[in-house]
Amino acid sequence: RRSHHVGGMLWRSTVVIAMLGGIVGLGTSKPMLDMLQTKYPRMMGIMPIFVKRDSQTFNASSLPSLQGKTALITGANVGVGLSTAKHLGRKGMRVILACRNPSKCQAAIESLVKDGVPREHLVAADLDLSSLESTAAFSSKLLSQEKKLDVLVLNAGIGPVPHQLTKDGFETIFHTNHIGNFLLWKLISPLVQRTAEQHGEARVVVLSSSAHYHAKGVPLTVEEMNRAHRGLADSIGGAYGNSKLGNLLFSQELAERSSSLPLFVNAAHPGLVASNFAVNSVDETADTLKGVPLVGGLLTPV
């Protein structure tokens, strides 16, 4: 009960800070943001809400035509993944939606078609990143069917949840968010790298989070990985934070190892986003978050 209480306090504090930022923070100066980045780096996860949104900022309308290109997006049936699929698909890109739940994936495709994405540009695929078997089977099928892959968006992940192990014996959060993504890349990397070499460029985007500032370090053994992060608060500062640090270190290492190729690797932290992930991570504050109007940028609409 204590861990749930601490987790609730953490999220409520974040909501209060975000609301204040939405009300009075539009004029925050760059020097102030630089100071916060230096002295309070853990706060930077919510800093986008303090910055005035510039009409010249890159947005979906800035995207060029993506005809003839193919993207794979994990966790594409909801939230950031679904929104990414929508905007890429509208620009002509063929999008493979890799989802854990086939029925939800089909529902997402119907939603995308209603939003103007041509049905022929959308492909449903089964992938459960918390399963080594599913990840291997998906990768094998992808390699046998696809001749090129221009964009890989490693978006799928889960937030702080009570401690449990996957059927492969790994802590669920770390397995889903880091091990699954790493294995997927390892298995399909020949396709992405070949695309970069033959077509001039390819891209890998890893969804990250400022929760990496809470990490206690990347576990190097199964025992360390599965060490009890049994409460929600422990998961925020433990398994979840560790998994997001793993994402960042993976992105950095991949970028360095790919420096001789036209392969662009980026880790993208979306900030506070009005996705199912954001509002469902902590049950006791989910209703509060859902009920707050999107005013002043508390939660960026996906």
User: Which positions are catalytic?
Assistant: 240
Around 245, how many Cα atoms within 13 Å sit in the side-chain half-sphere? 17
Q: Work out the number of other CB atoms within 10 angstroms of the CB of residue 119.
A: 10
Is 26 in contact with 274 (CB distance < 8 Å)?
A: no
In 24-148, DSSP assigns E strands to 70-74, 94-99, 122-126
The DSSP 8-state label assigned to residue 203 in this structure reads E
Pairing verdict, β 94-99 and 70-74 = parallel
CA distance 129 to 102: 14
End-to-end Cα spacing for the chain: 32
